[in-house]
Chain A
Amino acid sequence: MTTQAVITGNGDERRTLVTVFLRGAADGLALVPPTADDHYHRARPRLGIKPGAAVKLDERFGLHPRLAPLAGAWAEGQLAIVHACGTEDQTRSHFEAQDLMEHGGVVAGGWLGRWLQTRPPERRGALACVAVGKALPECLLGAPAATVMQSLDEFAIGGKAPRFGSQLERLYAMERGELGAAARDTFAALARIEAMRTTAYRAADGAAYGRDEFSAGLAQLARLIKADVGLEAASIDLGGWDSHIAQEGQVETLAGRLAAGLDAFRRDLGPRLATTTIVVMTEFGRTVEENSAFGTDHGRGSALFVLGGGVRGGRVHGAWHGLAPEGLERRGVLEGYGDLPVWNNYRDVLAPVLARHGADAAALAKVFPEWELKPLAGMYG
């Protein structure tokens, strides 16, 4: 029995879905290199991650060395990966691809927003949906009430008059019915946040957040989840992945931030990870072959990570057919390796995640209309 059950009054444990968007097209073949595939090393003679350098995941794949902090989650079965994941659309424009993926196709509104819309009204509390950052991301368009925040300090009753809040509470205490109940819920959530604000936050033991914005944002989200304010969905970005030139240093820095943040978040949540899912996605991957500037160009499939409760972790899910050139996607008459195809459509990967968070078939049809869903099997046991 959690306090949350008392707040929502429905005896149901609330779950939180956090999406992390790696903007700029993260190189899935650097983050999760198919180290056992000779074609990989032939296509990337200088940039390829050597089997000895990578963190070994299984017989096919390794992790980028800077993602080593995620090895714990992998070993404990909390982290699953889907490779060659992306959208069916051929666009290689960042903007267009992000838009399409966040909308879930040529559809109005965002997929996460539409999902939140299918949730029962009593789950749409003031803090049900939070976007960390400066603006609402496209994936949350259409959410019943999304809050863009950079800091928890924004969750407070404003107003210079010192007794504004207390007198409001007095007036709303006299309200019977559902408005009174909604007001009491709000004051209760605010009291919990206020308590958090006035005590210095100490992340759970072993959680070492980085000093960057990404880690800071995740730490705020962990506080909200642990405070039981009714967070159903959250989004946060980690940008800067467009690695056309000399990508090694760039990818190392970002992979380091990503892994430090995610691992700290996982440890910080502790038992609450069981009711939390973090999905890490990007708009498209990068060319299989490195370019002459020690970088990679816009490609197709990339890697997607699912970290959290219930997932069958410690394995790479979905289709994977290796990097033999004949199986790759060609652009025009280009020689060489071409692009890693999208063997796993992102919607089919998100479907079982949403199902884990309470979406039934009817809800999924609203979240991803006009797409014949073939939910990826085996992600959840």
Chain B
Amino acid sequence: MTLTRRHFVAGGAAAVLAGGSGCTKADVAAAKRWFGKPAAPALPKTLTPPAAAEIDWPMHVLNRLTFGARPGDHARVTAMGAEAFIAEQLAPARIDDDACARVIRHEFESLADPESTLFPRQDDAKDPLAQLFPAMKDKGARVGHLYEYKEKVLLEDLTRATLLRAVLSERQLFEVMVQFWSDHFNIDPSKADAKWLKAADDRDVIRAHALGRFRDLLRASAVSPAMLWYLDGRVNRKGKPEDRPNENYARELLELHTLGVHGGYTQQDVIETARCLTGWTVRDRKKFFRGRVEFQPRQHDDGPKRVLGTEIPAGLGARDLDRVLEILTAHPATARHLAEKLCRRFIADEPPAAAVAATASAFAQSGGSIPATLRALFATPEFKAPEYRGTKFKRPFHFVVSALRAANAETDAGKPVIDHLLRLGHAPFRYATPDGYPETATHWRNGLLWRWNFAAALAENRIKGTRVEPAELQRRLGGEAALMATVLGRTPTAAERAAFAESEAGLALLVASPGFQYA
């Protein structure tokens, strides 16, 4: 499929495919489907539901590595072995995800990587990114087109695409990690030019490196145009002697992105880090080459610096950036901080110390390989321990996506679903401060009413653009008990069976029940 919506707007392309101007609505619908309209994926042949009274090992792995099991997933993972499933998810490039990719390509022109650009590419010799990080060259030329869109369109597209990918993608762990890093390197696009540039950050930073190497992820984030806006790196300069560096990004870089708040750095380290980063800026929307990242040597403080006890000699210019990021990536506090956050996400709100230590050690030994770190985490006895199974309170996004997946819903991820996420306080890209949406249950228990109402609206097909067929699903699964076990990930308790029977609310009650709030 080489056509893009950039060249053919949806209706026009559909009309062309349907053979000209005399096409009917049905033709257009058929053409749209051919492009890849979001649809409920076909159910697999084997739909055997979980048979244990407690969450078993395959179910646990599905609960934690994915945004929720779809009907048949438990049977598939049981058959292939949970360890094989983990290995499969850690290598997303080898998982065929064409169906999801086609939907995203079709639905979201704005998120496509532009094949050509309006503006000439920057001469490599003049591009500081190409000089420092050859893999990142031409980034500037690849963001300008975003300004052609209304910022509301970009935010809506990004939000919908995030939800659709979480629901549809076979690369579930990858999507889980995209969410993890989106929180870790949180950018609220409501600030200034980040309105347009967050889409590039999502593409070139988060999704490009979600299961790659932390060093690359950190580098990409440090020179992400949206981040330069969001944390004021663009105005961190030392042009005149009286200029004081803007410490905003440097502080969050140490506190949130790398070492952690108790990572042993001082205020002087923050200042020295900020000095290293002076001169990096981004062109605003009133200039040519808007959104392009630049290094302005005259705004750079080129004196010697000392960060966390390591000397950075004078005169390195733009290369200060790489030096300081190396120091931070290799620091043991970074390994520990990331390990703790990962264990909090994948094991428990109060992560067990032994698992954190093992994960931190894997991070350090692998030079910051994210898959190697996760592989070690998933191999810890704590991750496997039955006591932690079914105890992670789902954050609202996880709750909503797991319900859509469990019910095998067809969804366009349109405004009506997003409105539920907004009401639940967890729509993507709506978190103001750089610490990202909180992870632990404490922050999320109070939205129960809106969880219950989402459950009812979903089960009763009152969310426009989203459709479930609970009766058909129950028939395919082989009855009420099978539906309950599929949704809950274990056989229901006597109380759940009684409530299910007496309420006559079926799927709504299951999704709203206490058991479904946990993974």
Contacts and interface: CB of A to CB of B under 8 A. Distances in A.
B396 to A, nearest CB: 9
22 contacts: A106-B192, A108-B191, A108-B194, A108-B230, A109-B188, A121-B443, A126-B448, A126-B449, A138-B190, A142-B432, A145-B446, A145-B447, A157-B453, A158-B453, A170-B499, A171-B495, A171-B513, A178-B442, A179-B393, A179-B445, A183-B448, A186-B449
B502 A124 contact: no
B21 interface: no
The 9 closest A-B pairs by CB, nearest first: A109-B432, A142-B432, A108-B188, A159-B456, A145-B425, A167-B503, A161-B505, A108-B191, A164-B505
A136 interface: yes
Interface residues of A, number: 50
- Residue among B187, B190, B446 facing the most chain A CB atoms (10 A cut-off): B446
B457 A158 contact: yes
A12 B442 CA distance: 20
Interface in A135-193: 136, 138, 141-148, 155, 157-168, 170-172, 174-175, 178-179, 182-183, 185-186, 190
A125 interface: yes
Contacts of A108: 187-188, 190-191, 194, 230, 432-433
Interface in A34-91: none
A190 B495 CA distance: 24
A174 B495 contact: yes
Interface in A88-132: 103, 106-110, 113-114, 117, 121, 124-126, 128
- Residue among A126, A147, A161, A164 facing the most chain B CB atoms (10 A cut-off): A164
Contacts of B456: 157-161, 164
B450 interface: yes
B431 interface: yes
A366 interface: yes
Given A106-B191, A109-B188, A142-B188, A163 B503 contact: yes
A183 to B, nearest CB: 6
- Residue among A103, A145, A166 facing the most chain B CB atoms (10 A cut-off): A145
Contact of A160 (B430, B432, B460): B460
Given A117-B432, A168-B499, A183-B448, 10 more contacts: A108-B190, A141-B432, A142-B431, A157-B452, A158-B462, A159-B452, A161-B504, A166-B503, A171-B495, A175-B514
A167 B433 contact: no
B307 interface: no
Contact of B423 (A121, A147, A162, A171): A147
B59 interface: no
A172 B503 CA distance: 14
B512 A168 contact: yes
Given A108-B433, A174-B495, A182-B448, A144 B425 contact: yes
Interface in B449-500: 449-450, 452-453, 455-457, 459-460, 462, 495-496, 499-500
A143 to B, nearest CB: 7
Interface in B498-519: 499-500, 502-506, 508-509, 512-514, 517
B433 A161 contact: no
- Residue among B191, B452, B495, B508 facing the most chain A CB atoms (10 A cut-off): B452
A366 B432 CA distance: 11
B443 A148 contact: no
A182 B456 CA distance: 19
B422 interface: yes
A146 B433 contact: no
A167 B501 CA distance: 10
Contact of A126 (B430, B446, B459): B446
Given A117-B433, A145-B446, A103 B190 contact: yes
Nearest to A146: B425
Given A178-B441, A179-B393, A190-B449, A109 B423 contact: no
B430 A178 contact: no
Given A106-B191, A108-B188, A167-B509, A159 B460 contact: yes
